[in-house]
Amino acid sequence: MRIENLFPIAQDLAIVFPDGEETGITFSVITQDSKAFREVAKRYASQFMGSEVKPSLDVLELQNVELSVACIVGWSGIEGADGAAVPYTREKAQELLAQPELTFIREQVENFISKRARFFRKHQTPA
């Protein structure tokens, strides 16, 4: 097996409304095994390790947003008020996923990235 086939790859996630209707938005996402995800997780873990203070719900919400954003590496189909495509940046993804009205988007990202098998190339076994 080629060594690159052992490493996960980015995959497309088509975002849908809660009723299942397509939004036309697609996120390119990487697995929660990624370095970016792990760095955010470690930062939060070290922040609260050994602390008597429990994180607030707002901090936990922010953590979930940051963990999801760490796995988004691009998008398509998002337009501004003027109809122009909004280019992906990590900051714009953070703003988008932090909006309480758009929790359904973050939940789709969280669900998608949690399934490790999605991020590996299909391979054939030798005959």
What is the 3 state secondary structure string of the chain? CCHHHHCCCCEEEEEECCCCCEEEEEEEECCCCCHHHHHHHHHHHHHHCCCCCCCCHHHHHHHHHHHHHHCEEEEECCECCCCCECCCCHHHHHHHHCCHHHHHHHHHHHHHHCCHHHHCCCCCCCC
Locate 94 and state its tokens: 């953070």
Residue 124 domain-assigned (yes or no): no
Residue 4 domain-assigned (yes or no): no
Higher pLDDT pick, 2 / 12: 12
The count of structural domains within the chain is 1
Q: What is the per-residue pLDDT across 57-70, written as a single tens digit (0 to 9) for each?
A: 888 888 899 999 99
Residue 77 belongs to what domain range? Answer: 10-116
Evaluate whether 119 touches 30 at the Cβ level (below 8 Å): yes
Q: What is the per-residue pLDDT across 69-124, written as a single tens digit (0 to 9) for each?
A: 999 999 999 999 999 999 999 999 999 999 999 999 999 999 999 998 888 877 55
Residue 109 domain-assigned (yes or no): yes
Residue 66 domain-assigned (yes or no): yes
